[in-house]
Amino acid sequence: MRFYVIKLPRFLSFIVSKIISLFSRKKK
């Protein structure tokens, strides 16, 4: 369970960074 709790935030942060990069591309 501990491993899952640590892995989930990492996966979420990866998705967030991808979305932010997409938004920054559309703005420019």
Specify the pLDDT at position 6. 67
Burial of 7 (0-12, 13-18, 19+ CB in 10 A): exposed
Each residue's pLDDT tens digit, 1-28: 676 666 778 889 999 999 999 999 987 6
Domain ranges within the chain, ordered by starting residue: 1-28
Specify the pLDDT at position 3. 67
Distance between CA atoms of 12 and 24, rounded to whole angstroms?
18
Specify the pLDDT at position 8. 76
Specify the pLDDT at position 16. 93
